[in-house]
A and B are shown apart, each in its own frame.
Chain A
Amino acid sequence: MSAAASGAKIVPLAPQVAAAEAHARLRGVTRVFELPKSTLHALGPIDLDLAKGEFFSVVGPSGCGKSTLLDILAGLSEPQAGTAEFEGKPIRGVPDGVGVVFQEDASFPWLNVRDNVAFGLRRAGMDPAEITRRVDYAVGFMGLKDFAGSYPAQLSGGMRQRVCIARTLVLQPRLILLDEPFGALDQQTRLLMGDELLRLWRETSATVLLITHALDEAAMLSDRVGVMSTRPGTFIDFVETGWERDRDSRVVSTPHFGDITARLWEKLRIEALKIMSAGKA
């Protein structure tokens, strides 16, 4: 469990993944928003390769375009320049095999937990027996078995986020995009949800991209962390954590965890200060 014990080091700028292994790939991706009186250069140009099965996190100051980056990978938004590919195909609209969990509670309040989790499968017109099997599994996996008949309003924020994760999980996505999914939760719940997420990642062997503002979350969960600059957001550092695949939230007590967090903060601090001095935070 302890990567520090296995002698892993912080590897600074990670080399780009070999072309054949890249699961998702961004090249020169740039996003500009046209405002009524001006243009806002939100993102890029960004180059990024996600290796198949990798757990990659993005940290960055607020407003740096993290969510825009996720929207582009999810096919919810198109870049003005550059290319975005998933499994070798250009991303046009939401690609098959991509699941997204948002920061906001996206559970459907009019459906109970089971029906929430089954929603995407029913839209896909899947065989009812298979839907039942997958939903049972996901509900059990996320610890929601006793709440299967409950409505979201009867659940805590953490539980509702589990519903959203279960709803994504049943579709068996090959790339899971998470946009600050635990942002609204308290610290302890966040750590435990992080464990759930690691378990899910190991189980599904999906590629994961997690957007977070919490350095500890990124340091604990990821194989690799990308640090973004202030707007227009670009990657200014990549940090390989060197954790073993079989890890959990207990890595936070290792010295290596402290080293990673310190390195992330060292880079991010400068960016955060820029925002603060510009009076934006």
Chain B
Amino acid sequence: MSEKWLRVAVVTAMILLVEALCRIDVIPRMVMIAPSDMVVELGKLLASGQFSADIQITFTNIAISTVLSVLLGFAAGVIIYSLPSLRDAIEPLLASYYAVPTFVFYPIFITLFGVGSASIIAIAVLLAVVSMITATLNGLDRIPRVLRKTGQIYRMSRVKTALLIELPAAMPYLFTGVKLAVAYSFIGVIASEFILSGAGVGYAIAYAYNLFENGHMYALMLLVLIVVTVVNTLLNIVDRRLQARRQR
């Protein structure tokens, strides 16, 4: 508990420090506006509804990317798991996957899907899906053999064993994949909007940056930060519950 309060204290102190530095003009207004002003600007921005369409499109794309990555990653993971020789062949590729800067492929996606949500989702899924594949393989690997044997003892069918034993047994590991898929979808979507979009929060931030509209820019950054924090807090609550049951 004291650890938690210390964390809150550290974050609060940092914010207050930045606030003070902005107020006494050590950090010029051209560079950064004070955190309190960011909150005010965000309030105004949300009330005006000026960026509602951008916000909606961004978070919709993130949600779609997450769902696609989780479903495709899980399906691919199960298939790879069931084909051991294929797995042996491609596992090194999966392991080094994140060494590849996925964003270099953005011209290909523009050619394939054009400028817009489709290419953004494609990049985000490409970024996120492998973490879900890896988590699925890890989860399936870690199902204790004795639990499958127990399924046999109860004379359960293959499908029932998968649904009632293997899936819940692998769930804490699968959820790690879900968390990563959410994080990569955020990164993939917002970063793609900077470079290959005419809409969305990432685009709006880049646009505000180009026009020196620091108020809008920092308000939108704050919005992204708040949403990421809330989403991660929720995911962590679920994760802690799952992990607590795994401790052996």
Contacts and interface: CB of A to CB of B under 8 A. Distances in A.
Contacts, number: 53
Given A104-B146, A106-B150, A120-B154, A153 B244 contact: yes
B30 interface: no
Nearest to B144: A104
A100 B153 contact: yes
A67 to B, nearest CB: 11
Interface stretch (B3-11, B35-43, B165-173): B165-173
A119 B160 CA distance: 12
Contacts of B146: 102, 104-106
Contact of A110 (B150, B160, B245): B245
B152 A108 contact: no
Given A104-B146, A151-B245, A153-B246, A110 B168 contact: yes
A90 interface: no
Interface residues of B, number: 22
A133 interface: no
B210 interface: no
Contacts of B244: 151, 153
A94 B169 contact: no
A108 B246 CA distance: 10
A100 B155 CA distance: 12
Contact of A76 (B149, B164, B248): B149
A148 B164 CA distance: 20
Nearest to B155: A94
Contact of B171 (A98, A99, A110): A110
Given A105-B248, A110-B171, A93 B149 contact: no
Given A105-B146, A123-B155, 14 more contacts: A74-B153, A76-B153, A93-B155, A94-B155, A100-B149, A100-B153, A104-B144, A105-B144, A106-B147, A109-B245, A109-B246, A110-B169, A123-B156, A151-B245
